[in-house]
Structure 1
Amino acid sequence: MSNLACEPEFEQAYKELASTLEDSALFQEHPEYRTALEVVSIPERVLQFRVVWEDDKGQLRVNRGYRVQFNSALGPYKGGLRFHPTVNLSILKFLGFEQIFKNALTGLSMGGGKGGSDFDPKGKSDNEIRRFCQAFMRELSRHIGADTDVPAGDIGVSGREIGYMFGAYRQARNRFEGVLTGKGLGWAGSLIRPEATGYGLVYYVEHMLQHAGQGSLAGKRVAISGSGNVAQYAALKCIELGATVVSLSDSKGSLVAPDDGAFTPAHVAAIADLKAQRRPLTDFHYADKFKYFHGARPWVHVGKVDVALPSATQNEINRAEAETLVANGVLVVAEGSNMGCTQEAIDLFEAQRKEKGAKSVWYAPGKAANCGGVAVSGLEMAQNSQRLTWTEKEVDDKLKCIMKSAFLAGLETAQKYVASKDGELPSLVAGSNIAGFVKVAEAMRDQGDWWA
């Protein structure tokens, strides 16, 4: 990649995958897969475009729009749209690259892609957001479709933005089709879609705890970062299953419960209302029930916890924070966000896993642990294709099956390709990377995308 502009987030995601493939027996048994890795690491198509819109003062505003159509060997490109001022090509390539293998782990027919804009919805009126979404979709609509590319939401893109973009697509293309997921329930959306990433994360963690002989979530202390969609529903599901949730956070700081305190469903609902209004956690009236840490993530402030669920954004647990979690007895770290841990933090967790056997911390990467969101997006696509709506229980049951399959795929693949000592927990990061990569590589070879 020396001939390319610096793309630190994408390079981190690539190296994380490539290093686990190199450290396993995969390339020894199948050296031809090195060619597949070289091919799959380059997007099939990168779209970059100008988005011109008008603010409420009648002034012209301009932003950059992107869509990275990374890989379609398993199905239409599938991945979210992120509206945030930090959006750039490196971040979208990292997210799209991760999405390829995450989607493969769901077992559904979806390729990988990602897109978005450096537009910031915070501080914008509904009319400004509507005008931006319509301008963004006027260009993007030329490149997507139900059998081509099916975007979803991500940071800064909720049901409101999906609605505005779907309406703009329908008007531009004169087609009502399943071109976006996360749609409203009254117009071809799916039950459980808003909850899916958070719920799926918790279902995955339950399998980890059970396999490690640590019981269930009941009675466990759980630290969660973030306070958006993923964090909210992960917290609610943890509480439902008997766990104690002790933290939530946003970009301005963290709320942490004291030793005898916890978040309740009512607290989570109040925070969800704030976030729907694009308001910070500092506006939450928590009296003396929680302590607020300005400008800090929760990990070094939560004390002893059994489970840590980074659910905000990338690189939100660094090595120092990982050391604190390990010292405080954490059993499971599972990413609700994409690439939630730095490579140094992952290296620490993996070293602990190798040294301490079944009693060690066990780390699960986002491409496996948080694949529930895109899984239910895939189920929404299936319902749209059939012109059907499934019940909440039907969708939730399918989500549970998908999360179990993703867990077992990572577990069994690690046992096959990664050497381990007696009593050592399998590497879920290596197993998930290999399982997703092999599925995509084989489909690409069958279709002539690479050969050896």
Structure 2
Amino acid sequence: MADMKQYVEDVLASIEQKDPEQKMFHDTVSEVFSSIVPVLEVHPEYRENKILERMVEPERTVSFRVVWQDDKGEVQVNRGYRVQMSSAMGPYKGGLRFHPSVTLDVLKFLAFEQVYKNALTGLPIGGAKGGSDFDPHGRSDNEVMHFCQSFMTELCRHIGPNVDVPAGDIGVGGREIGYLFGQYKRIRDSYDAGVLTGKRVDYWGSLARTEATGYGLLYFVKNMLDAKGIDLAGKTIVVSGSGNVATYAIEKAQEYGAKVVTCSDSNGYIYDPEGIDLAAVKEIKQVRRGRIKEYVETHPQAEYHEGCRGVWTVKCDIALPCATQGEIDLASAKALVANGVTAVGEGANMPSSLDAIAYFQQQKVLFAPAKAANAGGVAVSALEMAQNSERLQWTFEEVDGRLKAIMKNIYESARKNAEKYADPDDLVAGANITAFVRVADVMLAQGLV
């Protein structure tokens, strides 16, 4: 065991030496590889074939200039990226993020996570991530269209239904996907419906895709709680975020009889002791594209608080971070535990720091890691690809039923490997091991590529 642990430490040291500034990437690699030491002991062939060293190197990284003109006639310049991490399991698959925080470090960490998340679904998709430091917030539809068209003019060289299939992420919703798809179609002169997922239903998107990540999160959490004989009904839940993931996590939690008392945006959070009025949140965020603080104008019993981390000081049974990476640090984790939290389900990508996760596990908090718990979105994206290949559109009920089955399978696979190699309640290790073995075995089968 000591020998394989040293091997993992050597691999981690090598990537830190190569790219010392990419801390988020280092952290996510460390989180995965630290879990798989027991597997390496049983399967020395992974070390002999340098599977770990190959996994941390993207198959391809593309960086490009995006030049566009705003409504004032001024020229704007942004930077675009696509990190194609692994095609071992299928075409590269992963979202596009438009946000000022986008860097190569952020996208490498997200792409690495995506490989394992996608492998957990059991569907034939590899892993990638991309985006730009462009901020669509406050921009007109015309400006967003100009940016998306310029971005796709370069990206179209590197994607295709059997090569790389991007989707949406932070800052990339149905509007942006539409503009991106239109430009791809114009340049390629081909109606490749399967080149992007997250499309509107009227041009061959999938029903239930909008709801998938949030619904899938609750399906996973419910499986986790059911295994412990805990009923979700009647529980008080704190949710961060107010985008698609948070919105539909709230919706499904309320369907299960839980009371959700918070949600947030980048400026602050609302607390409604009577339970979030989801219709009001949808009106503010999806229709008016407003700020969450507007909620208190029509709900006098609710409170608005500036800043986002304060949401984790609200007393709850279950916490669902659904906003962005790194939103729960150690201090936030301690506040949640002090206030009685018994379960945490990650809806965003890597929203909890490594020391926060360790603290939750030490305190015996049930923990559903992002790569497993939020895999519902990419699972339905893969189902959208399947529908596009068939030139058919399944019903909402059929897609949702498949999603529910996929999330149950992800939970059971993670729990099985946690029991085999680690602590039975360590779903972090269980999910990492499940995904790693699936990808590693395929890489061995395909040779030195």
Q: TM-score range by the shorter chain?
A: over 0.9
2:267 corresponds to 1:268: no
Aligned to 1:442: 441
Could you give the per-residue CA deviations for residues 169-223 of structure 1, whole angstroms, max 9, x where no partner exists?
A: 00000111110001111111000000000000000010011011212x2111111
CA distance in 1, matches of 2:407, 2:77: 40
CA distance in 1, matches of 2:339, 2:176: 40
Aligned to 1:351: 362
Query: Which of 409, 412, 416 is 1:412 aligned to?
Result: 416
2:332 corresponds to 1:328: no
Distance 1:37-1:286 versus aligned 2 partners, 3 A rule: farther
2:371 corresponds to 1:382: no
Aligned to 1:181: 197
Aligned to 2:170: 155
**Residue 120 of structure 2 contacts residue 435 of structure 2 at CA under 8 Å; is this kept in 1?**
yes
Alpha-carbon deviation of 1:298?
4.2
Alpha-carbon deviation of 1:33?
2.4
Could you give the per-residue CA deviations for residues 54-99 of structure 1, whole angstroms, max 9, x where no partner exists?
A: 1111111110000000000000000000000110000000000000
Paired residues for 1:309-328 under 5 Å: 309-328=320-339
Could you give the per-residue CA deviations for residues 220-265 of structure 1, whole angstroms, max 9, x where no partner exists?
A: 111100011100000011111110001101111111123xx11133
**Residue 299 of structure 1 contacts residue 325 of structure 1 at CA under 8 Å; is this kept in 2?**
no
CA distance in 2, matches of 1:72, 1:185: 27
Structure 2 unaligned residues grouped into runs of 5+: 1-14
CA distance in 2, matches of 1:242, 1:267: 19
**Residue 203 of structure 1 contacts residue 400 of structure 1 at CA under 8 Å; is this kept in 2?**
yes
Query: Which of 295, 310, 314 is 1:302 aligned to?
Result: 314
Alpha-carbon deviation of 1:287?
3.7
* Stretch moving more, 10-19 or 69-78: 10-19
Could you give the per-residue CA deviations for residues 344-375 of structure 1, whole angstroms, max 9, x where no partner exists?
A: 1001012123xxxxxxx111111000000000
Aligned to 2:370: 366
Aligned to 2:143: 128
Could you give the per-residue CA deviations for residues 248-300 of structure 1, whole angstroms, max 9, x where no partner exists?
A: 01111111123xx1113323323333xx5442212332442211110132444
* Stretch moving more, 128-137 or 12-21: 12-21
2:41 corresponds to 1:28: yes
CA distance in 1, matches of 2:81, 2:300: 44
Larger RCO (alpha carbons 8 Å, 6+ apart): 1
Alpha-carbon deviation of 1:149?
0.1
The one-letter code of the counterpart of 1:414 is: A
- Percent identity for Structure 1 against Structure 2: 54
**3-state SS in 2 of match to 1:254:** strand
The one-letter code of the counterpart of 2:200 is: G
2:249 corresponds to 1:237: no
**Residue 45 of structure 1 contacts residue 68 of structure 1 at CA under 8 Å; is this kept in 2?**
yes
**3-state SS in 1 of match to 2:129:** strand
Could you give the per-residue CA deviations for residues 290-349 of structure 1, whole angstroms, max 9, x where no partner exists?
A: 11110132444311x111100000011111111121122212101000001001100101
**3-state SS in 2 of match to 1:324:** helix
**Residue 413 of structure 1 contacts residue 432 of structure 1 at CA under 8 Å; is this kept in 2?**
yes
**Residue 197 of structure 1 contacts residue 371 of structure 1 at CA under 8 Å; is this kept in 2?**
yes
**3-state SS in 2 of match to 1:133:** helix
CA distance in 1, matches of 2:280, 2:428: 33
Paired residues for 1:151-300 under 5 Å: 151-177=166-192, 178-215=194-231, 217-258=232-273, 261-273=274-286, 276-284=287-295, 285-300=297-312
CA distance in 2, matches of 1:271, 1:248: 12
The one-letter code of the counterpart of 1:141 is: C
The one-letter code of the counterpart of 1:293 is: H
**3-state SS in 2 of match to 1:73:** coil
Query: Which of 328, 339, 346 is 2:350 aligned to?
Result: 339
CA distance in 1, matches of 2:163, 2:35: 31
**Residue 182 of structure 1 contacts residue 194 of structure 1 at CA under 8 Å; is this kept in 2?**
yes
**3-state SS in 2 of match to 1:20:** coil
The one-letter code of the counterpart of 2:271 is: V
Distance 1:234-1:298 versus aligned 2 partners, 3 A rule: farther
The one-letter code of the counterpart of 2:30 is: K
- Figure out how many residues of one structure are paired with residues of the other and give that number: 430
Alpha-carbon deviation of 1:5?
4.3
The one-letter code of the counterpart of 1:81 is: L
CA distance in 2, matches of 1:20, 1:7: 21
Aligned to 1:358: none
**Residue 84 of structure 1 contacts residue 118 of structure 1 at CA under 8 Å; is this kept in 2?**
yes
Give the root-mean-square deviation of aligned CA atoms: 1.2
**Residue 102 of structure 1 contacts residue 368 of structure 1 at CA under 8 Å; is this kept in 2?**
yes
Aligned to 2:10: none
Larger helix proportion of the pair: 2
Could you give the per-residue CA deviations for residues 411-436 of structure 1, whole angstroms, max 9, x where no partner exists?
A: 00111111x4xxxx520000000100
Aligned to 2:102: 87
2:111 corresponds to 1:111: no
The one-letter code of the counterpart of 1:313 is: T
Aligned to 2:403: 399
Alpha-carbon deviation of 1:30?
1.4
**3-state SS in 2 of match to 1:263:** coil
**3-state SS in 1 of match to 2:80:** strand
**Residue 239 of structure 1 contacts residue 264 of structure 1 at CA under 8 Å; is this kept in 2?**
no
The one-letter code of the counterpart of 1:171 is: R
**3-state SS in 2 of match to 1:141:** helix
Alpha-carbon deviation of 1:153?
0.1
Distance 1:171-1:115 versus aligned 2 partners, 3 A rule: same
Structure 1 unaligned residues grouped into runs of 5+: 354-360
CA distance in 2, matches of 1:224, 1:94: 24
TM-score calculated relative to the size of structure 2: 0.94
**3-state SS in 1 of match to 2:309:** coil
**Residue 247 of structure 1 contacts residue 255 of structure 1 at CA under 8 Å; is this kept in 2?**
yes
